[in-house]
Structure 1
Amino acid sequence: MNAVIALCNFCQAHGPCPIFCTLTLRSKLDDLHLDQQINNKLCAACNSLGQSNALYSKDTESGATFLSTQTAALPEVATLVKYAAIQSLSSEINCNKDGGFVFFGDSTQGHVLSHTFHVSDLQARGFYQLFSIIILMKDKYFLLNTKPFLAEHLRRISSEIQASAHKIKEDEEAKDSPRQRRLSGAQLLVQTPRSLVELTGEDNIYAILHSHFSWVLLAGSRFLTEHVTFGNLPWLPPQSSGQPPKQRLTYNITTLPMIQKFEETLDDPEQEEFYSLRHIKQVVRNDLFTTVCYCALTGVKIIVRGSPERTFNFMLCLRKLLPDKMHNLMRIDAQHQHSISSDYKIISVSNEIPVPIACSSVLRIDYLDKSMDGFEVSVKWPGELPSKWPDLMVKLIKAVNETRFTELVLNKQTKVLIEEWKNKIICLNRAKSTTGQTKLKKVLGIQPQDQPLINYWSAHLA
């Protein structure tokens, strides 16, 4: 993964700065100049390995090498990291003391995912020091697409640091509480800023961080795979560079004008009519929205019955629940009975065509001539939702219910989530053994409740 991970600290004496940087090494170690000019202003809180020391490791399987230094080993990268560190600890801060995430940056300074968190320090102002872990990358969309994976592991790293610091805090309070001294008015000795080693009581804290950061970089490049959408990596099979056909929805002459209008808007995103997943929620009952989403995501056949003028926008919204390569599983306004019994998973038909009754493998959505209880459709599916929903479904429903998301933002978020899971399943398909798949599932955060979705998508994603 072409990224830099850095631990940053807001020193109460010298301000915000990066104190530990890890990057993927693409040149020989001998070609780097680690003996940079020493900054005499460095105190314990601003210092980690020292200006002329480094931690170096290599993954024997992939050949990837990782280098951790106090300041990024490449001067042009060091400048970007320093700028990002200042922002992550000053203007771009999530106020959640347990650790928040902020995304910022641009194409010039790089795009940054910042995770700020507090570390207990009884000798500091407010009894804590402010740290952040930043991931700097040039590829904005890959960073956003992998944010769930990165956020999960950055939070684990920060929690580990906080837990160690909390133990040191409890030990110090048990001996002689600086808080009680301050409240009693007793004069305190002037304390110098403390290092992360002192705060956590772990002498090898930077070796541990090097291991964590290197693994995140390795996992990001090997398992989350930029190559799925942007290129190839040497240890994975090559991907086809061909684009999917522009027209992925089948149609007949009655729906041709609507299809043509839809395709014209694709060429000009600013003119697109943003029918988001909320349109589905508006058409069906709130409690049935989750049922429709689950069936679409896991391959239960959905039959939408009604005139094309009423069902077309609903079908376009169902389309958003599947990746591009699976759009050919949809059929708009089918005119023949045999289309229903074919491999199409989402079908809209006119009222004249007989359709099967609802069952565990068929969900029926009938547009009514007259509204019933305020709703214009009847949804029938005798199946039951599982107690735990697939992770993608949970995130999609959360996005739909986020009132601050406009239709445009919701559509963008939907595309990102669908793309993320498409990439995960493509990676699983590349695994050559059951053991490899098991390891990948653990790395990618795939749980047992995701298996119905995986079974369906895997069969159609090469």
Structure 2
Amino acid sequence: MNAIISLCHFCEIHGPQVLFCTQPSHPQGIEGGVSGVGVVVEEQYNTMQLLLSRTQEQDGAQDLKSLVSEPSTPTPSSGNHCEGCYSVKPGFVSHDDDVKVSYVSSRQPHNREVFSMIRQACLRSLTGEVCPGTEGPIFFGNDQQGHVISYSFHIKDFQARGFQRRYSIIIVMMDKIYLLNSWPFLVKNLKIVVEHLQEKAQKVHDVEQTKSPREPNKLASFRINPKPARSLMELTEDRNIFKILHVSFVWILKACGNRITESLLEGPPTEDSIIDMEKQEETEEGFIKLFKKDDTEEDIEEEKETEKEGEEEEDEEESTSAVQNIRYLLRSLGEKKFHILAHHAVIGNQIIVRGALKPAVKAVLSALKCIVPKGCCRVVSYSQEYEASWKCNFLGLAPDVHIPNHIMATEMFVLVEVISPEVDTTVPTTISPPGLDQLRECDFSLASPTTLPDKGPAVLTKMEMALKNENLTQEVLEQYLICLKEEWMNKVKVLFKFTKAGGSRSEEDTKKLLQVVGAQEEDKQLLKFWMTGLSCHYKTHILSTTKSHH
């Protein structure tokens, strides 16, 4: 736990004073081989009560005259402090070999900035901040001076005005959330330490009270002229009281640090991740199998498609290469032609890439897939015959495959011709990402019977701007495209729930919803197409939830 615990005292002569501080530090800051209070760092005791009961029977702590230097902050001279302001000199240390951390206790922190924070917290703890009742915990602080849990209390002193002295234990930490989450644990154990001190002081007070003069005039003069403050060791008659505080504070810091640990939490799975999970199923034997429809005539006809799609697994492992390929495609086609091609892709029109060089055809398809959600991608990477758009929206064709006339007249598609020179395919090209060498050797032509709107979807505009930004690395660009797709898939989810699961909706209601989610008229076709890419899990959940409500 990266915090500092301090014992503070309100001196009637010198005001609020810091008596004793315990803080963690790295071992290289302390030279020597003293093991300190091993019982604490080894965590032999699970509770503070057991620790306090056993600590008094041990003498494990050692004075560190040669190990702990004098505080770098100015310390009061002998004329500026009294016995009540005294604790230990120079202090104690405990080493935790498991995590390579040392816990150092001294009168003041060695760092000037830390001392300033502790001093400020001490002043507020004993003068400015008031807790409910005469003693107890309170929280205060800010991001500049640190956040503080202060436990104020009184120690019996028969020679003091009012027969008691005011003390506080403060825990200063910069992490507000961590400190507040630790409040129950810290307050509980600070209370145990305080009660232990009060119990010792109460016994001394009772003994002194029995020995004190009984005459009223002597008692009155004694109250008028109280003696100077006595040290905590004298008030408790325990010369090892600061050793006990040392092991107690170390135990609190270590136990609290082990109690709450930070862990990296992954966010909810993206739609692409859910789509990937839905494509596979684990059997009772632990094997992974792909989802497969019942065999039909159509499935038999599509067996050759499965063979072609088997090569697509490599593309998933080369997403960064796909990003590099799409950037090259943008430069090769030019901004205007690339915009047309990408516009067709994001609204669901069939993308047909035809060419003799199979790796180049696959590289173009793989590149375009990175701007479309996975659930919307139905791919036939390379075929010897035309496949209908309802089967695939990304289609790779051999150069001699002709598109039927009725398709040319009616279908919404764009044809990309990959014009490649004669190359020696026996020469391996493994230096560049897959397909990039072939793309560099090819020319491209674009043709489509479809007329697109002048203004494209907003998400496409953002994607094109990112692709043209050369300051973005391949990895950053890849993550940016993922975030953009997920952002718009969230809009699609809202629209799906609104239209499919919410009953009949008017055109006016839908228009208002689009305004709420930040979509315009030019985005409607994209949203409608991307809705087909929602996972079966999400669709089933929304529809079943809606039915249960009705």
For normalisation by structure 2, the TM-score amounts to 0.42
Larger radius of gyration: 2
Q: Which has the higher helix share?
A: 2
